[in-house]
Structure formats: structure tokens, C-alpha cells
Structure 1
Amino acid sequence: MTDTLSPDAQIVRDFLDASMKPDPVKAATYMSDDVVITFTDGAKYDHPSGTTAFNAARYKWVKKKFGQFDVAPGKDETVVYSVGTLYGEWPDGTSFEGNRYVDRFVIRNGKIIKMDVWNESAERILVRQGIRA
């Protein structure tokens, strides 16, 4: 059985699909011109190309395995959470999977106006470097 996503959750899903290709130009079509993207390191970007460059430096490649999309509709804006795991390869070619993530999106008038990104990559990097058990 396939779950049908709400229109706002579908915008997020389509954005994430474009982001994972990666196709930051197509991903930007789902975002407002004044979008604010806050990434895992606290850096702020105004276009998906910023996060694509960040990911290119952190991973050889990375994809998302979607878990759930939680939708909280509001009067003028809707908040959509995408929860799941990351999988891919570190720059040295070592595979990883099961890296939990939460992305929070604010949607207004059919466009993403805000995106906040959290995942466990930094902690996993510390473990790989022997800094953390």
C-alpha cells in the first residue's frame, strides 16, 4: 500500500528527490526566492547549491532513506518534517547507513521558505577519527 502525501509533504519529497540527484537547480524550483536553509553546522544558505557543495565535501555520495513525513498545518504556513536515515560513502569510499536525520521545512504558498537540517554525520565522523567511542 502506498501512502498519499499531502500537497505540502509532496513538495518536500520532490525537493528532496531533486536534492539527492543532486540537481540544485531543480531543487531550487521548490523554494522561495528568499529561502533560508540552516544546515547541520549552523551555516545558512539561500540556495540548494550551498548544501550540495557542503555535502560534496563531506561525502563521496549521500542519499536519504525516507521514513515518515509529519505535517503540521497552520493558518498561513505548514511545517513538514522528513525523518529517516542517510546512507552513502565517506570520501575514502567506506560505506555507511543508518545515519538518522530530521529535516524541518516551512511551506508558504506552495514554496519552501525555511529548511533546517539535522543528522548524525558529525558524531559518526568523530567515531571514525577515534575521537569518540
Structure 2
Amino acid sequence: MPVVELHVLEGYDSSEKQRLGQALTDAVRFVVPATPELVTIMIHDMPTENYYRGRIQRRPAAARPDPELIVKDYLSAMEARDLTKAGALLAQGFTMSFPGTGPMTTLDALIQWSKPRYKFVTKTYEGFDALQSPDEASIVYCRGTLQGEYHDGSCFESIRFIDRFEVVDGKITKQDVWNDMAEVRANT
């Protein structure tokens, strides 16, 4: 039964510490074959007046926003066609690639690319997976199926997709999309 003790400076709220506890549990389970119930995480709050580094009393940095929630907000805004809200979640220098495209840098470019392909598309999500890369980006994958309508009035459904997002400092910097739409369309 692995036990992890962590000391953090006071100032993180209970939801932030819960996210930290879940992430540490998952990190332990990545190496140690234990169920979540067998991993113990103890987070100790350290009063800021008891913490010095470099001869200076320190305060905790703000917790990073949950990258999975950022991606979910973005996808929800895109489906609702709230491009202002979706665009506000994108970083300067954002790029996205869809099947058969090179990198696009604006939501308008995506809309222009998709216009001749279908009238509309929606997603059903089967799951989200978030992880921290070795650099500053958090990685979020979402997977599920696409459904919608082609311009000829025919409908499509159950088309597999997976999206990969990179999130840095609360903003989406990159989106890569893979799906089976072309294969399904070619066989109908």
C-alpha cells in the first residue's frame, strides 16, 4: 500500500487539493500496481509564515486551471457556435489540424474548411484523459463519436473521433483531430 505525504503552502482550496490528490494517486498507479483505494495521499498545509526560500518568506503560486475543464468549455462553445467564447480559450499562436488539412490558426479557417463537408456535426463523448507533459503543456485527449448531416440531407452517426489538445497557462495552444469521416463517407 503506497503512502505519499506532500507538504504545500497554505492557500490551496479543497477542490485544488482534491485535484492534486487524484493526480498523485494516478501518478503512483502509473508505476505501482495498486487500486486507487490502496494509495494513500496525505497533504499537509504549511503555514506561509513558517516557509522561507532564499531568505525570503514565500506565498504559494496560484493553482493551474483544470485543463480538462478548459477543453470541455471550448468544445461546448464550438458546438453552440459561440466563437467569441471559444476564441477566448485559445492562446496566441494557436494551431489546429484536421484530417487532410495543414495547420489552421483561426476558428474562421476551420468553419470555412468544414462548410463544404457537412451542414452540422455534433460529438458524443466517451471519455477524456488529461496528463502533464514533461514540458509546460498539459495534454487532454477526448474521444467518442460524431453525428450530423451532410449537405444532401443524409445523416451520419457513430463515426469515431479522437482529439488531442495542448493547454498552457489556461489557454489551448494546439488541437489535433483524427476521425473516420472520410472512410465512412466513401463507403456510403
Instruction: Report the TM-score when normalising by structure 2.
Output: 0.62
In 2, Cα distance between equivalents of 1:76 and 1:43: 24
RMSD: 1.6
Aligned to 1:95: 155
Which of residues 82, 105, 109 is equivalent to 1:46? Answer: 105
Aligned to 1:131: none
Deviates more, 1:81-90 or 1:50-59: 50-59
> Which residues of 2 match residues 51-62 of structure 1 at below 5 A?
51-62=110-121
Aligned to 2:36: none
Using the TM superposition, give the Cα deviation of residue 23 of structure 1 relative to its aligned residue in structure 2, in angstroms: 2.7
Identity of aligned residues (%): 33
Aligned to 1:116: 176
Tell me, yes or no, if the aligned pair for 1:77 and 1:108 is still in contact at 8 Å: yes
In 2, Cα distance between equivalents of 1:53 and 1:25: 16
Q: Does 1:79 align with 2:131?
A: no
Q: Deviations over 1:22-64 (max 9, x none)?
A: 2333211111010011111132111122212222221111001
Q: Does 1:36 align with 2:108?
A: no
Q: Which structure would you say has the larger RCO, counting Cα contacts within 8 Å and 6 or more residues apart?
A: 1
In 1, Cα distance between equivalents of 2:111 and 2:159: 18
Residue 44 of structure 1: SS of its match in structure 2?
coil
Aligned to 2:53: none
- What letter matches 2:114 in structure 1? N
Aligned to 1:9: 68
Tell me, yes or no, if the aligned pair for 1:106 and 1:114 is still in contact at 8 Å: yes
Tell me, yes or no, if the aligned pair for 1:77 and 1:107 is still in contact at 8 Å: yes
Residue 45 of structure 1: SS of its match in structure 2?
coil
Unaligned runs of 5+ in 1: 129-133
Aligned to 1:125: 185
Relative to total residues, which structure has the larger strand share, 1 or 2? Answer: 1
In 2, Cα distance between equivalents of 1:95 and 1:117: 21
Residue 57 of structure 1: SS of its match in structure 2?
coil
Unaligned runs of 5+ in 2: 1-18, 20-64
Residue 58 of structure 1: SS of its match in structure 2?
coil
Q: Report how many aligned residue pairs link the two structures.
A: 124
Q: Which has the larger radius of gyration?
A: 2
Residue 100 of structure 2: SS of its match in structure 1?
coil
